Amino acid sequence: MWSKLRQIWSIPDLRKRILFVFGMLVIFRLISNVPIPGVNIGNLQNFFQSNQFLGLLNIFSGGALSNFSIALLGVGPYITASIIFQLLASIVPSLSELQKEGFSGQQKLNQYTRLATIPLAALQGYSTIVLLQRSGAGILGTLSAWQWIISIATVTAGSVLLMWIGELISEKKVGNGVSLIIFAGIIASLPTIAQQSVAVFDASQLLTIGAFIALAFITIVGVVFITEGQRKIPIVYARQMRGRSAGGAKSFLPLRVNQAGVIPIIFAISLLLFPTFLAQFFVSSSYPWLANVATNVLTFFNQNLWYATLYFILVFVFTYFYTSVIFHPDQIAENLQRQGAFIPGIRPGEPTAVYLKNVSQRILLAGAAFLGLIAILPIMVQSAFQLNALSLGGTSLLIVVSVVLESIKQIEAQIVTRDYESF
């Protein structure tokens, strides 16, 4: 491990990229601790400790929501906008055509996503402030019209700033920017969690700690297993014919079991949070029918069985969906044909694309199911042992492990690229 770290540090360009990413995350943490004026921080933190839903929502803000900082929305609006446009791209023909245009089309879709983030951030900022005002916990007082404008504009600007930081990080190719921001928020909360655990520790919590350690170990092993797992497709590069035989250089095309990484988990949690967030917003509505609907929604999501089932389905579906967005067998088949390469026993062109798609679908079935099971494992343990602290901790651990593996792979890819260029 130390030799690998020395190798990374010895590459000037890669060292600058990592230091830049680290600097951006430091800026993010500073922003996350700049509170909006007029908030009772003590009452806010007590309210978060008693509300598991807001604790999960706090993950996506990197802890900024519990501080009611200028970045309290985190990257949530950007994630929501990304989900919306990726879904629309599979339905709206014009957006689908943009996806097929390659880099230029993707740039336009990214621009649309950025523009959609602004109204979504304003709407979520308004909803969050109203929710905290109606909590009855004495968090926020009455705001004037000017204070409303300033508060919403501030949190919207904070969310857009984090979106920009995330894209700057992604451009350095040492990890996904959005994932790393969420990762930094989770890691930053660990000292506080450890301090609170030590302060209230007693012998009766040994079972809880043992279950958490076992769950953490199973989650880490499972995530590493499905992330590192791959199917190697043999590839032969044709050479000039010699007599009646043809020689060829052999290689392989690796198809990962889970090509989507941690993105399906983030997408699934984002969608699960949305109806719960709206329900908490309307639960005290003056319209009885609306308050009743909101109460029923909260009751539904508080039932671990239904919540886990829906969570599993969303992770499973988004794994397939996001893989279809980033994995293009037609382009791979076309590139292989241009390079004079082929899969033994498979004709070049369309048959190769169909073969790659079928193989990807088969191995993805195991990857999606396994990822979904790991995602709901903390909820199942919570129900079985009545350990209320594990659902949030398991989700956080799942994101942390996946982000670390993804970043390591991108860094290793850059090292290999530079090794080839040195020859």
Domain ranges of the chain: 1-199, 202-423
CATH 1.10.10.10 at 202-423, yes or no: no
Instruction: Inform me whether the pLDDT recorded for 172 exceeds 90.
Output: no
Q: DSSP letter string over 400-411?
A: HHHHHHHHHHHH
Tokens of 53: 């839903």
Comparing CA positions, the residue from 44, 43, 41, 42 lying closest to residue 54 is: 44
For the entire predicted model, the pTM comes to 0.75
**Do 1-199 and 202-423 fold alike per CATH?**
yes
Do 255 and 356 form a contact (C-beta atoms < 8 A)? yes
Q: How many residues does the chain have?
A: 423
What pLDDT shows up at residue 241?
A: 45
Instruction: Inform me whether the pLDDT recorded for 386 exceeds 60.
Output: no
Cα(first)–Cα(last) distance of the chain, in Å?
A: 25
In the chain, % of residues over pLDDT 90:
6
Do 376 and 219 form a contact (C-beta atoms < 8 A)? no
What pLDDT shows up at residue 240?
A: 47
* 236-245, 247-256, 406-415: the lowest-pLDDT one: 236-245
Mean pLDDT of 248-259: 79
Give pLDDT tens digits for 188-235. Answer: 777 766 666 666 666 666 776 777 777 778 777 877 777 778 888 888
SS (H, E, C) 21-73: HHHHHHHHHHHHCCECCCECHHHHHHHHHCCHHHHHHHHHCCCHHHHCECCCC
Considering the domain delimited by 1-199, tell me its CATH architecture: Orthogonal Bundle (1.10)
Tokens of 339: 């390079």
